[in-house]
Structure 1
Amino acid sequence: MVRSWFSDKVEKRLSEIEGKGLFALTDIAKGELLVVKGGHLFDRNKRDQLSLTLGPSEIQIEDDLFIGPVTPEEREGSMMHLNHSCEPNVGIRGQICFHAMRDIARGEELTFDYATGDADDWQMKCACGSFLCRGTVTGKDWQITGL
């Protein structure tokens, strides 16, 4: 079965941001590796086809290349449950490794700015609650200076 890898310092549980989230079980130091996205590699056409049954479950790793599950049975094991925040505490290094961007306290939800890992043409209303909240998040926000 396809799975993402998780540090033993994190766990999935219900989130106030949305659905399930990923939370720190203990204090986490800046720079620590927390998640490695697992899945199959596929192109945009396959991604669009899969989204009809799996919903959003992949991440973009190149212009026309994505990684994620390809069956409903693989979906939960592949999902990272990193909810979006405009003021994230987790960032991506390379294409599939997610590291702490700052020290993270035990119990804190781990969040990722979706716009920094996906250059596709999409948008979503944001409800992260951060003072820095952009209101609407798009796949082009990575072009914003200082993001």
Structure 2
Amino acid sequence: MSFGKTGMIKPIARTSSVTVTRMKMIAAWRFFIRSSTVEAAVSAAIMMTPLSYRSPKTEVRQSKIHGRGLFARADIDKGEIVAMKGGHIVDRETLRREITPRLGPVEIQIDDDLFIAPVTEEERESSMLYSNHSCDANIGMRGEITFVAMRDIRADEELTHDWATTDDDDYSLECKCGAPNCRKNLTGKDWQRPELQKRYAGYFSAYLARKIAMLAPGP
């Protein structure tokens, strides 16, 4: 009870426990709606963000080598980052059993038994770099996932890498890259070839660089 201006006693309005509970439920529901909206917006933004990075100086076009390829749309300086591969890290068995049959060749090898690749059809396009193989490649590796220009590259050149700089596998297949120095046959062990080790020195994937260093004769 309380005294009003006239001195008369008037009751204090009370909120029932039922009303309080209802207000809490409404507040919680409003928070849930806001949180769900934010979560949905974040999820949508993530889905729209490419898994891989391609330099704004590059674009995908039809290639004379194979299907679509990555091309320079502006001059690129030696050492400049061209692309970075994104995706999920998977082992060789998962790649061969679950991913390649559905998505095709979408991976980059990053260690003896590890690869980085998309795992769903929805992720495939955002993970692809579209850099074709060439025996006269102009981009090479820095680390495990970064491709850099091995020389100055002019606008409209196709950006290609030699699989010898990334792969350690047991495949053998015919090469049709069309380069003057085409090896005609590619294998997953080409990184072991002394002439390629010399040509691509400093541009092998980190795990292959370690292997090459271990094979080098001692002092």
TM-score class, shorter-chain normalisation, is: over 0.9
Q: Which has the higher strand share?
A: 1
Q: CA deviation at 1:124?
A: 2.1
2:132 matched residue in structure 1:
83
Structure 2: 5+ residue stretches without partners:
1-46, 197-219
Match of 2:92 among 44, 56, 71: 44
State the partner residue of 1:140. Answer: 189
Aligned to 2:204: none
- The one-letter code matched in structure 2 to 1:29 is D
> Partner of 1:11 in structure 2?
59
Q: Structure 2: which amino acid aligns with 1:26?
A: A
Residue of structure 1 equivalent to 2:165: 116
Deviation at 1:125, TM superposition (A): 1.2
Higher RCO, Cα 8 Å, sep 6+: 1
Q: How many residues align?
A: 147
Look up the equivalent residue of 1:86 and give its one-letter code.
C
Q: Give the TM-score taking structure 1 as reference length.
A: 0.97
- Listed one character per residue, the Cα deviations across residues 54-83 of structure 1 (whole Å, up to 9, x for unaligned) are 111011100111101000111111111000
Alignment map for 1:16-27 (pairs within 5 Å): 16-27=64-75
Q: Which has the higher helix share?
A: 2
Q: Which residue of 2 aligns with 1:107?
A: 156
User: How big is each residue's C-alpha offset from its partner over 1:75-131, in whole Å with a ceiling of 9 and x where there is no partner?
Assistant: 111111000100100001111000000010100000000121010111221111112
- Residue 146 of structure 1 and its aligned partner are, at CA, apart by 2.2
Which stretches in structure 1 are left out of the alignment for 5+ residues?
none
Task: Tell me the distance in 1 between the aligned counterparts of 2:180 and 2:194.
Answer: 18
Q: CA RMSD in A?
A: 0.9
Q: Secondary structure at the match of 1:51?
A: helix
> What code does the residue aligned with 2:159 have?
L
* Structure with max Cα Rg: 2
Deviation >2 Å, runs of 4+: none
State the one-letter code of the partner of 2:78.
Answer: K
Aligned partner of 2:53: which letter?
Answer: W
Match for 2:51: what amino acid?
Answer: R
Amino acid at match of 2:91: D
* Aligned-residue identity in percent: 56
TM-score by length of 2: 0.66
1:64 corresponds to which residue? 113
Give the C-alpha shift of residue 37 in structure 1.
0.1
